[in-house]
Amino acid sequence: MTSLVEVTNMYFHYPRARIIAGEAAWTLEDISLSIQPKSTVGIVGESGSGKSTLVRVMCGLLRHQQGNVKFNGKDLSEFEGDGANDLRRENQIVFQNPRRSLDPRMTIRRSLSEPIRALHNRQPGDDEIIATIERVGLGREVLSRFPHQLSGGQLQRVGIARSLSVQPTILYADEPVSALDVSVQAQVLNLLMDLRDQLGLTLVMVSHDLGVVSRMCEEIVVMRHGRIAEAGRTDSVLARPDSNYTASLLKAARAASLERA
């Protein structure tokens, strides 16, 4: 089976960071991983370890300096012109803070039609917009509202609907529920699992919550200091971690979590 995303010996640094910190300072160092179609991958690790940066490199929002990143067998650098649009359409991201990722001056309807306008160069029809919003469990009455008139959980649903409106192959969710409280988290996580199953999506989730990752993701990537500390099947990595770092994350997570059967 060909991988959907294939990263080999990839290095990345932000433009200014490297000059300040000297030659050796890579934000991401020697990253190799592959993502299979329709799999769900969790990316965990401490703050600043490079999780969000990795996601941005994989979907082409940031350009790596060394190594290879391929999408559907094709190097990211080969996606140019119309190809660049295809890449953006196939790779969608949902961010942590729904309030910050939607334009406060736009109605929800307008926010939802934006990706289709930008990537398909057409105005989506009303039926299409309604189907999009209903798919994430919201009613059409929210379409005329502005972001400040919706709750955090509703806004995150809008963010998800927006990403899915262009029928991506892969959905990246960067801490999609950490700004939400427990009960709303549960709704959004269930929604993500349902949509993944219905649409046959590949889902890559950045999360600091090992409980969430162990529920949702068959594969896990543990990041530390810009490197992959450990990766593999979630149940085997978490049941028998090879890396001391993974073990310490697990210990912290267990201490402050409830045990669930």
Partner 1 sequence: MLQLRDVRVVIDGHEIIRIDELDLAPGSRLGLVGESGSGKTMTAKAIAGLLPDESKVSGSVIFEGQDLLTLNDREMSKVRGKRIGFVFQDPARSLNPMMRIGKQVSEAIRIHSDLKGDAVTAKVIDLLHQVQLPEPETLLRRYPHQLSGGQQQRVMIAAAIAADPDLLIADEPTTALDVTVQEEILRLLISLSEERKMSLMFVSHDLGVIRFVCDRVAVIYGGNIVESGRIEDVVAHPMHRYTAALLAANPGMPKDDNFSAFIGKRLQTITGSVPAVGKFPSGCRFRNRCLSATDACSTMPSPITTGNDHRYLCWNPGDRGQS
Ligand X SMILES: Nc1ncnc2c1ncn2[C@@H]1O[C@H](COP(=O)(O)OP(=O)(O)OP(=O)(O)O)[C@@H](O)[C@H]1O
By the criterion CB under 8 A, which residues form the site for partner 1? 46-48, 151-153, 178, 181-187, 189-190, 193, 208-212, 214-218, 234-235, 238-239, 248-249, 252-261
Q: Which of 3, 14, 184, 218 binds ligand X (CB under 6 A)?
A: 14
> Encoding tokens for residue 57?
């490199």
Min dist CB 1 to partner 1, Å, is: 20
**Binds 210: which of Mg ion, partner 1, ligand X, none (CB < 5-8 Å by kind):** partner 1
Instruction: Scan residues 39-68 and list those touching ligand X (CB under 6 A).
Output: 45, 47-53
Q: Is residue 46 within 8 Å of residue 210, measured between CB atoms?
A: no
CB of 239 to partner 1, least distance (A): 5
Minimum separation from the CB atom of position 49 to ligand X (A): 4
The span from the CA of 215 to the CA of 205, in Å, is 12
Residue with Cβ nearer partner 1 (18 or 208): 208
CB 199 within 8 A of CB 191: no
Min dist. Cβ of residue 257 to partner 1 (A): 4
Of 52, 111, 113, 163, the one binding Mg ion (CB under 5 A) is 52
Give the nearer residue to Mg ion in terms of CB position, either 52 or 165. 52
| Cβ nearer to Mg ion, comparing 108 with 155 | 155
Q: Closest approach of Cβ 52 to partner 1, in Å?
A: 12
- 252: Cβ contacts below 8 Å, ≥ 6 apart: none
Closest-CA residue to 112 (of 52, 158, 45): 158
Compute the distance between CA of residue 16 and CA of residue 259 in angstroms, rounded to an integer: 44
Is the CB of residue 195 less than 8 Å from the CB of residue 116? no
Find, among 182, 140, 180, 175, the residue nearest to 161 by Cα: 140
Q: How far apart, in whole angstroms, are the C-alpha atoms of residue 89 and residue 213? A: 25
Q: Which of 258, 46, 58 is nearest to 169 (CA)?
A: 58
Chain centroid to CA 38: how far? 14
Residue closer to Mg ion by CB (options 52, 132) is 52
Question: For residues 150 and 173, which CB has a smaller minimum distance to ligand X in the complex?
Answer: 173
Nearer to partner 1, 10 or 213 (CB): 213
**Binding span for Mg ion by CB under 5 A among 48-56, 69-77, 106-114, 176-184:** 48-56
Residue type present at position 145: R
Q: Which residues in this chain contact ligand X in the complex, by CB under 6 A? A: 14, 17, 27, 45, 47-53
